[in-house]
Amino acid sequence: MNLDDFSDLIERPDNGMRRDAEERRERLAVAPGALGRLDELGEWLSAAQASVPVKAIEQPRVVLFAGDHGVARLGVSGRPAGTSHELVRSVLDGASPVAVLARRMGVPVRIVDAGLDCDPELLPDEVVRHRVRRGSGRIDVEDALSAEEAEAAVRLGMAIADEEADSGTDLVVLGDLSVGGTTPASTLIAALCGTDASVVTGRGGAGIDDLAWMRKCAAIRDALRRARPVLGDQLALLATVGGADLAATTGFLLQSAVRRMPVILDGVVSAACALVAQRAAFRAPDWWLAGQLTGEPAQAKALDRMALNPLLSHSVTVGEGTGALLALPLVQASAALAAELPEAAPDLTRPEAASDGADVRASS
């Protein structure tokens, strides 16, 4: 598998439709620009859907890729290593932030176990049946995945994207459920942006103290040394310093763009995968929205590199797609306004309207 092949498969959203949407917007009763970014979002949706007026977002879905990371054993996370399955269980039980919000919004949640480090019997079969491997390697001293596992994880993400597109999902809220996942994510971003570990090291979703931050920074520094020799090969990069869940997310993002299915990104993990996907296919980010700015330095650097402007900035670091889900109502509102606002009545006081009337009288 060569991820560069996606560059030939992914097309940009329909710019002709975007121009038609812009022209239609100028005819609406509400003055152009008065709705701020909602206008921009409506035009983006029109281009993505190839439809003017834009269609309502009727079948959104939250998709969460889950996995554990060996680097968490170094104490780089606020949660104990190997406990991502507890995060999964909390979502399934409806007790997590994303579960509460999704229930309130009526949005279904799908969890895909790409690399959890737990007995499969602890979770439902529909969650664990896709697992690529049990946990990912400690990226500061060993590869996260073998080459075969990395390819299998990417293909898993591609298959999930196809399933969602085939089932009628018209927008995906993308998130992750992981312990230690921000460390490989930050490593990928540092490697692809050519920066140092200290620039991208944040406090993570669970929050860490200064000592844990220093351990995390050291782990990213060591992982970066291992990442730089394989920067030219995105699949090898994911195998070296990524993880099963990150590789699956990358495959999902690429195939979603192939299938013209818009995606809202959440935090630093989805941003890192998006950056890897952008390196493989430069048009792919045209199909994504940045749902929120978390305050994680690595996420800000990745979004800046992809020229994605976040919709919200509430410093939501809990993960799980929570921040991206908070942005969904804005996207839905933009679609409703673009589709349902009436066009303005003709202004008969305009000079051109008056001259038209004079011409008619003269001809009579």
Higher-confidence residue of 32 and 272: namely 272
pLDDT tens-digit series, residues 123-173: 999 999 999 999 999 999 999 999 999 999 999 999 999 999 999 999 999
What are the Cα distances from residue 306, in Å, to 200, 288, 289, 353, 360?
A: 16, 10, 11, 46, 54
> Mean pLDDT, to the nearest integer, of 74-99?
95
The kind and range of the H/E element at 178 are strand 171-179
Which amino acid, one-letter code, is at 317?
Answer: T
Task: Please indicate whether the domains covering 3-54+339-363 and 60-328 agree at the CATH topology level.
Answer: no
pLDDT tens-digit series, residues 306-334: 999 999 998 888 889 999 999 999 999 99
Which amino acid, one-letter code, is at 204?
Answer: G
Q: Known catalytic residues?
A: 320
Among 30-39, 153-162, 200-209, 351-360, the range of highest mean pLDDT: 153-162
Would you kindly state where each structural domain of the chain is located, as residue ranges?
3-54+339-363, 60-328
Label residue 273 by pLDDT band (50, 70, 90): very high
Proportion of the chain above pLDDT 90, given as a percent: 81
CATH of domain 60-328: 3.40.50.10210
Burial class (CB in 10 A: 0-12, 13-18, 19+), 266: buried
Whole-model pTM?
A: 0.92
At the topology level, CATH places domain 3-54+339-363 in: 1.10.1610
User: Would the pLDDT of 351 be above 70?
Assistant: no
Q: What is the pLDDT of residue 25?
A: 86
User: Would the pLDDT of 206 be above 70?
Assistant: no
Which amino acid, one-letter code, is at 20?
Answer: D
> Mean pLDDT, to the nearest integer, of 113-128?
97
